[in-house]
Amino acid sequence: MLKLVRNNIVIIGEILNYLMVFCLATFVFIIFYRRKLDVNLIVMGSSSGKFCDDNVYELLKHLISQGEKTIYIIDKKSTDVSKVQYVGGSVLYRHSFRAILAAFRSAVMIYDTSHIDIIRCPRRYLKYTKTLNISHGVHGLKKKTPEDKLAITHRSFLQVERSMMIWPNT
């Protein structure tokens, strides 16, 4: 019984901590950044931050190789943290102040399940951010051989997509 009470207290503490960090990041975004997005920033995440899926990982590698300003958000306890850090680019820990602020400021958010992979908040908080759900089953992003190229994404593609607003907010 005592162990159950301790676990509940820990969970409540984590929830309160997240709410405080979320409110602070929201305040900073509204007051200091005046709700302005960083048009060059792409934020990525997958599987609620628990690990980095193949699709997202391959796209992350490609975007970084193309010089895109990309931030990957992952859980601090994930086994894939070193894998993502090895690729390069910025890695932020899920539910941290910097990760929440980056999610608010990003022009494009790429995930494989939902925006909850990156930030836990109602979708209306991200209404100006373009989203791209690449899902778990996009086999075109999985490299079969070392010679395979990722042809679907490069700088000009992203610029066209951003300007045409093809990635609807859903």
Q: pLDDT tens for residues 110-168?
A: 988 888 889 999 888 888 888 888 875 554 555 555 554 444 443 434 443 443 333 33
d(CA 130, CA 110): 9
Is the pTM here over 0.85, yes or no?
no
- In a domain? residue 170: no
- In a domain? residue 169: no
The count of structural domains within the chain is: 1
Q: What is the CATH number of the domain that holds 108?
A: 3.40.50
- In a domain? residue 34: yes
Locate 41 and state its tokens: 């920033």
d(CA 45, CA 94): 9
Domain that holds residue 110: 2-164
Question: Do residues 108 and 130 make contact, with C-beta atoms less than 8 angstroms apart?
Answer: yes
- The stretch 54-64 carries a mean pLDDT of 85
Residue 124's contacts (CB-CB under 8 Å, 6 or more residues apart) are: none
- In a domain? residue 84: yes
- In a domain? residue 32: yes
